[in-house]
């Protein structure tokens, strides 16, 4: 088992990489419009980041710590039921994300199911290699992916910053473009896959204080920065380039890249979706156990083959039908366990004036 200090650094980098990934920007940016009410938007982002810190890092880390130290009891059986449900969601999310990467590789040739399946198999194979790689290489890859995501969204915000001080003549009103509640939910859903790194940290033997501070730098700071940058980039993109009949969503944050280097846009999109795919594979490894993920074992290869074959025969997979319900399952499970821990802790704490 790696040292807790190494686990802390690893958790920070992987969580940051998830926060600076394309699924995160799609969930947070689709309803973000801070120009309508900047102060309320700032409060929403800070509140969402704090909720994500608690439900998607601290509670999972504490849960893993409790499970590791408790080999018997009802909590153990509840954990197995939760693992079974989350395994199904992680598998479905892996399929959807792999298809998304396969579609990016084909660049619009969605009718080629066999090639789509091969692209998905290649994506899953690469993700499996990352998951079973040596710890040092995992940390390097996590840091690289997080840095790529940060640079990409920062460049987008800067490149389209001219739109923050202008107006789009085709846009009659901006009043209905923002929904702070959807932004709050988007932050929670986007942070949910990163919970697996909180679980890994909880199993490593790190102290509770270290678990909390790791979440601050792994979840809270990156998700605030990511949500802010993608929102500003979206405003700039809409005000500079939007035309009627074009949907106004998170994709407007990156319209500068599509307009300038269209043939190469799939390269960053594949890289930024790959982060979420790796997180799903980490979930499967954590839920199914180390016995199925030995470096020389056949389980990972069999999984790649079965999923890849399935992908060549099936139709489209819905982002809303698979990935989001899985994320909600993670959040709800964390909320239930966190509420139970708070309630039982209050019951077990005697009143201060009870002692004589």
Q: Three-state SS string across 44-81, please?
A: HHHHHHHHHHHHHHHHHHHHHHHHHHCCCCHHHHHHHH
Give the per-residue pLDDT at 191: 92
Rounded Cα gap, residues 201 and 9, in angstroms: 10
Tokens representing residue 336 in the block: 């239930």
CB proximity list for 55: less than 8 A, separation 6 or greater: 188, 191, 195, 331, 334, 335, 338
What gap in Å lies between CA 282 and CA 304, rounded to an integer? 14
Residue 346, pLDDT score: 57
DSSP secondary-structure letter at 37?
-
* Residue 98 within a domain: yes
203 with 271: CB under 8 angstroms? no
Q: What does the pLDDT read at residue 311? A: 47
Backbone angles phi, psi at 159, to 5 degrees: -65, -30
Residue 330 in domain: yes
pTM (predicted TM-score): 0.83
Are the CB atoms for 198 and 64 separated by under 8 Å? yes
Tokens 């309320």, located at residue: 40
> Which pairs with CB-CB distance under 8 Å and at least 24 residues apart come from 343-346?
none
Structural domain including 24 reads 4-340
Per-residue pLDDT, 319:
52
328 assigned to some structural domain: yes
Average pLDDT, the chain: 79
Q: Which structure tokens are listed for 46?
A: 């800070």
pLDDT for position 285: 80
Query: In angstroms, what CA-CA distances link 26 with 21, 117, 190, 217, 250?
Result: 9, 24, 9, 22, 5
DSSP secondary structure letters along 241-253: H--TTS--SGGGG
In contact, 93 and 323? CB cutoff 8 Å = yes
The confidence score (pLDDT) of residue 53 equals 94
Q: Residue 109 in 3-state DSSP?
A: coil
Hey, what are 6's tokens? 């190494």
SS3 content of the chain, % helix, strand, coil (to 5): 80, 0, 20
Write the DSSP symbol of residue 111: T
Cβ within 8 Å of residue 356, ≥6 positions away: none
Tell me, yes or no, whether 350 lies in a domain.
no
- Residue 265 counted as domain residue: yes
E strands present in the chain: none
Select from 125, 110, 129 the least CA-distant residue to 312.
Answer: 110
Q: Are 192 and 86 in contact (CB under 8 A)?
A: no
Residue 237 near residue 256 (C-beta atoms within 8 A):
yes
Residue 354 has a pLDDT of 46
Q: Block means of pLDDT (10 residues each) for the chain, length 356 residues? A: 68 91 90 90 95 92 73 61 71 77 66 68 84 86 92 91 84 83 94 88 80 90 95 90 83 80 67 87 75 50 52 50 78 88 66 48
Angle at 142 between CA 183 and CA 312, to 5 degrees: 80
Q: Domain total for the chain?
A: 1
Domain membership flag for residue 346? no
Residue 354 within any structural domain of the chain: no
In a domain, 347, yes or no: no
- Write out the two tokens for 327: 């994320």
């Amino acid at each position: 088992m790696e040292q807790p200090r190494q686990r802390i650094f690893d958790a920070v980098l992987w969580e940051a990489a998830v926060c600076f990934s394309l699924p995160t920007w799609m969930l947070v940016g689709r309803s973000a419009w801070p120009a309508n009410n900047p102060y309320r938007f700032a409060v929403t982002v800070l509140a969402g980041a704090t909720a994500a810190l608690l439900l998607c890092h601290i509670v999972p880390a504490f849960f893993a710590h409790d499970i590791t130290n408790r080999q018997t009891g009802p909590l153990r059986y509840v954990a197995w039921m939760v693992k079974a449900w989350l395994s199904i969601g992680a598998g479905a999310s892996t399929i959807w994300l792999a298809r998304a990467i396969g579609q990016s590789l084909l660049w619009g040739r969605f009718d080629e199911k066999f090639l789509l399946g091969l692209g998905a198999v290649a994506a899953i194979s690469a993700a499996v290699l990352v998951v079973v790689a040596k710890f040092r290489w995992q940390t390097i890859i996590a840091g690289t992916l997080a840095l790529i995501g940060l640079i990409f969204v920062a460049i987008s915000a800067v490149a389209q910053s001219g739109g923050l001080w202008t107006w789009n003549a085709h846009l009659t009103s901006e009043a209905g473009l923002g929904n702070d509640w959807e932004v709050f939910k988007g932050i929670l859903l986007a942070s949910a896959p990163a919970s697996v790194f909180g679980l890994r940290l909880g199993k490593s033997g790190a102290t509770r204080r270290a678990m909390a501070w790791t979440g601050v730098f792994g979840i809270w700071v990156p998700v605030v920065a990511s949500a802010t940058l993608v929102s500003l980039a979206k405003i700039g993109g809409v005000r500079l380039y939007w035309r009627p009949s074009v949907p106004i969503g998170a994709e407007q944050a990156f319209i500068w890249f599509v307009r300038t280097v269209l043939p190469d846009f799939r390269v960053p999109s594949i890289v930024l979706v790959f982060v979420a795919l790796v997180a799903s594979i980490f979930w499967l490894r954590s839920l199914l156990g180390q016995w199925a993920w030995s470096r020389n074992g056949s389980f990972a290869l069999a999984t790649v083959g079965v999923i890849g074959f399935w992908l060549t025969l099936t139709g489209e997979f819905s982002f809303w039908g698979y990935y989001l319900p899985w994320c909600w399952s993670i959040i709800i499970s964390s909320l239930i366990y966190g509420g139970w821990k708070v309630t039982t802790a209050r019951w077990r704490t005697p009143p201060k004036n009870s002692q004589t």
